[in-house]
Every structure is written in structure tokens, then in C-alpha cells.
Amino acid sequence: MQRLYILCCLIVLLVGIGCDSKEQPDAPVAGKYRVVTTIGMITDIVENVGGDRVEVIGLMGPGVDPHLYKASAGDVQKLNSARLIFYNGLHLESKMADILAKMSGNTKTVAVTDAVDRSLLLTPPEFEGQYDPHLWFDVKLWMNAVGRVRDALSEFDPDNTSAYQSNAQRYFVELAGLHAYVEAQANRVPTEQRVLVTAHDAFNYFGKAYGFEVRGLQGISTATEAGIADVQALATFIAERRIPAIFVESSVSPRSLEAVKAAVKSKGFNVEIGGELFSDAMGNEGTPEGTYIGMVRHNIDTIVKALIGESKAHATSPTGY
Ligand SMILES: [Zn+2]
């Protein structure tokens, strides 16, 4: 047993040595200042706007659910070593609230949603008066987060303000193109067929921006489990409306939606799993879906193909649905 323990320690040590400097919180990259981020969509903004001035460490990788995410001891070390921390806010990273609140001294924490006009935020009744945090699926609204990062970096490092401004401007142009693409794709789906059923309520902003009726099995946060009554109610809705496809999410277990599919079948209708959407986490690094723009394009392509009946011919996903 002791030998096993020593072996494990040795492996941990070797893996640690093998990691690049990004994984070693005590060794900042020369000439750069360290920024720590929570969800991948924010990491992507800081990489785009900060460029080669910043060393970005994203805490939440592919498949990670930010509603349930708790900071590990290693994360706390990374947070402590950062000059700036960017997080979404609006209770998305609900289990990290205490740690973020305690950061002080040399570390500045910024919620990228804090400057967004509150009248543009959604307050779904089931979220008990709180704002829906998933605003990245309205591409135009998410541009506010880009502006917030640009301003915070400029304030922290005023000598490079013009670089942050031009980087942000270039990214804004790309995002404007993305917004137009999503709109054009959404418009391929006849209005009455624009119904998006997913594992949890991450797509309300998407629905509002691009004209989809949205239903999630779980609520705004995945912290509340869906019950049998929720499954049955959603199955009845799908069968009555004859919705052809529903969608699993990369950061939420597919089990609950498979239960919905089975419940729909027992009502005499067949609904397909139309593919996997990236909701609260991006795809793997190095793949198109490992960027914000790539994940949004993947989602709209998957949704449109499944809803207009091209799913078998074109839509693919990493999990093979
Ligand atoms: Zn969510």
C-alpha cells in the first residue's frame, strides 16, 4: 500500500514536471502578466483582446459545468497568482462566489457581465428573481463582455491601451460576422419549427435573439435535478408539437434527455437526439469548437440541420449522436 502511495506521488511529480509553464502557477511567463478566467468563452475573449501581453489560464475546460464547479487547491493557487481574474458573474460560477469575493490585494476581479444594461438581461420566473447568466448565446449581447475585458485590461495596463482597443475591434468585426451567420442560418428554419429543446435552460438569450422557442429539461442552473414530472411534461410538449429533434449538451449528462426520448416514444411519437450542443463549456482545444466562434457555429449548424431534417446527412458530434 505504501509502495503504491509512493508510486502515485512519483507519477504526480513527473506529470507536474512534464506540464508546460501554463500549469505552474508560480512561474509566470516573462514579459506577460497573468490573467485567470473561469469559463472557456471568457478565456477566448482574453486571448483575443489581451494578445501577447497576457498569459491566460482558464480554469474550466471542455465538458466542465460551471454551475457545479468548485475550485480545487490548485485553482486557488492559480487565482492567487493572477493579477486579474475575469468571471461571468450573475451566479453562473455559484460555487466559487466565496473564493472570488475573498480575492484582494494585487488581484483585481472583474465580472464580464457587470456593465451590461440590466434591462437587456432575462429574469426567468423559475430562477427566483435572479438574472439568467447565459448571455454568450446572444452574440451581440456578448460583445459587451468583450468591451468589459478591453476596458479592464486597458485600465490595468494603460501603456498598451491602443493594442487592446485594436484587438477588440478586430474581434468585434468577427463577432458581427458570426451574429449575421447565426441569423441567416436560423432564418432557414420555418418560424413554427423553431423550437429548441435542450438539457438545461442555457439557450434563453439565443432564443430571444434568433427567434426560437426554448425549453430546457433542467432549469437555469444544473444544480437542481429534473424530476419524473418534468420529464413527462416535456415529453407531452414534444409529442403534441411533433418536434423532430432535441439536443444533448457537452457539459450535462445525456441521461436525462434519453429519458425524455423514451417518454416521448411511450406517447407514440419519435423524437431524435439531434446532436450535441456546447452550452456552458467549449469543445476541445485545437478543434473548431474549442473557440467561442466555433462553438456558436457548431450549435446553430447542428440545430438547423436537425430541425429541418438534414440531421442524418450532415450533423455530427464528438459523442456520435
Ligand atoms: Zn448553464
Angle in degrees, CA 319, 62, 288, rounded to 5: 75
CA angle, 97 then 98 then 99, to 5°: 95
pLDDT at residue 311 tops 50? no
User: Mean of the pLDDT values across residues 274-289?
Assistant: 95
User: What is the DSSP-derived secondary structure letter of residue 145?
Assistant: H
- For residue 21, pLDDT over 70 is answered with no
Helix (H, G, I), strand (E, B) or coil at 36: strand
Q: Which residues, in sequence order, are CB contacts of 12 under 8 Å at separation 6+?
A: none
Domains and CATH numbers, the chain: 20-182 (3.40.50.1980), 185-307 (3.40.50.1980)
Read off φ and ψ for residue 35, nearest 5 degrees: -125, 130
Helix-helix angle 139-156:161-186, to 10 degrees: 170
Cα(41) to centroid(ligand 1), Å? 13
309 and 244 Cβ atoms separated by less than 8 Å: yes
Residue pair 276/319 in contact (Cβ under 8 Å)? The answer is yes
pLDDT of the residue at 14: 45
Distance from residue 290's CA to the centre of ligand 1 (Å): 18
Q: Which residues surround ligand 1, an ion (CB under 5 A)?
A: 202, 280
Nearest to 238 by CA among 219, 211, 218, 257: 257
pLDDT of the residue at 316 = 43
The Cα 183–Cα 191 span in angstroms is: 13
Q: pLDDT higher for 4 or 173?
A: 173
Percent of the chain with pLDDT over 90: 73
Strand intervals (E) in the chain? 33-37, 54-58, 84-87, 108-111, 195-200, 213-218, 245-249, 272-277
Contacts of 27 (CB under 8 A, 6+ apart): 21
pLDDT band at 302 (very low <50, low <70, confident <90, very high): very high
CB atoms within 10 A of CB 227: 11
Output the pLDDT for position 101: 86
- Give distance in angstroms: CA of 173 to centre of ligand 1: 27
CA 279 to ligand 1 center in whole angstroms: 7
Q: Cα(270)–Cα(255) distance, rounded to whole angstroms?
A: 17
Q: Tell me the CA–centroid distance for residue 201 and ligand 1, in Å.
A: 7
CB–CB of 280/251 below 8 Å? Answer: yes
- Average pLDDT score over residue span 265-286: 95
Is pLDDT above 50 for 241? yes
- Signed CA dihedral, 281, 197, 136, 38: sign only: negative
* pLDDT in the model for residue 320: 39
Average pLDDT over residues 304-308: 96
